[in-house]
């Protein structure tokens, strides 16, 4: 598995887990400067655990869509370069701001990932990666609309939530439809279901066309 140098295997209380170096948040396990990256609390962490080739590297510039309270994006900011964290809901966004206070590369944005024109004046172009974890219908549309920020050799790393798209349909049918929609802007390189860490989720790695 290819992963950034800043993401490493480490042992916490006898259990081997992925970890990053940084200030801990929300009571996670630590060992010195290492903080455990719990795949049950992070779709991106589960994507790494599953062994997908994300293309992420130390120092990459990242747009994170659906940052919530900042658990996963704080790990990203531990190894990445400038990291723009978009979150729409005010309550988790307040937590995200608190997490960002101890990370000078993390920039929280109280914005809606479905309307990238509202933060286009802040987010730099030619980014190395977009990480997407949004609980909304139209997840392919969100990825396609935000492609404008991605460099031609960049990567999209998305966690597609079947139940957010349509609770009445079986996940494989939902995933097929989302992947087809993504082909308007991306070439899909790799996919993997995220069980047992996250039910009815599909990890997707893609590159822009």
Q: What is the pLDDT of residues 155-168, one digit of tens each?
A: 999 999 999 999 99
| The pLDDT of residue 1 is above 60 | no
> Is residue 134 a known part of a binding site?
yes
- Residues across the chain: 209
Neighbours of 113 (CB within 10 A): 26
> Is residue 117 a known part of a binding site?
no
> Is residue 112 a known part of a binding site?
yes
> Is residue 113 a known part of a binding site?
yes
Q: What is the pLDDT of residue 4?
A: 86
Tell me the H-state helices in the chain.
Answer: 43-49, 71-79, 90-100, 139-146, 162-165, 171-182
pLDDT tens for 14-61 read 889 999 999 999 889 999 999 999 999 999 999 999 999 999 999 999
> Is residue 30 a known part of a binding site?
no
SS3 61: coil
Q: What is the pLDDT of residue 2?
A: 66
**What is the distance between the alpha carbons of residues 74 and 106, in angstroms, rounded to a whole number?**
8
> Is residue 136 a known part of a binding site?
yes
Both structure tokens of 135: 């609980």
Domains of the chain: 38-208 (3.40.50.150)
Both structure tokens of 100: 């960002």
Going by C-alpha positions, the residue among 191, 96, 182 that lies closest to residue 142 is 182
> Is residue 135 a known part of a binding site?
yes
Both structure tokens of 70: 């900042």
> Is residue 133 a known part of a binding site?
yes
Cis peptide bond N-terminal to 135, omega within 30: no
């Amino acid at each position: 598995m290819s992963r950034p140098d800043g993401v490493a295997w480490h042992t916490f209380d006898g259990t081997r887990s992925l970890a990053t170096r940084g200030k801990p948040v929300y009571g996670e396990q630590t060992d010195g400067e290492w903080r455990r990256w719990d795949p049950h609390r992070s779709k991106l962490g589960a994507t790494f655990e599953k062994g997908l080739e994300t293309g992420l590297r130390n120092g990459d510039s990242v747009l994170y869509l659906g940052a919530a309270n900042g658990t996963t994006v704080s790990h990203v900011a531990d190894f990445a370069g400038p990291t723009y964290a978009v979150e729409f809901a005010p309550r988790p966004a307040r937590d995200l701001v608190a997490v960002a206070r101890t990370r000078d590369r993390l920039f929280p944005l109280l914005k809606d990932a479905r309307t990238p024109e509202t933060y286009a004046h802040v987010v730099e172009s030619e980014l190395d990666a977009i990480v997407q974890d949004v609980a909304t219908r139209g997840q392919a549309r969100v990825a396609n609309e935000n492609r404008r920020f991605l460099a031609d050799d960049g990567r999209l790393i998305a966690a597609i939530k079947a139940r957010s798209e349509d609770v009445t349909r079986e996940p494989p049918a939902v995933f097929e439809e989302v992947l087809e929609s993504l082909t308007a802007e991306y070439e899909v390189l790799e996919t993997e279901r995220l069980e047992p860490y996250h039910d009815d989720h599909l990890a997707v790695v893609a590159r822009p066309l």
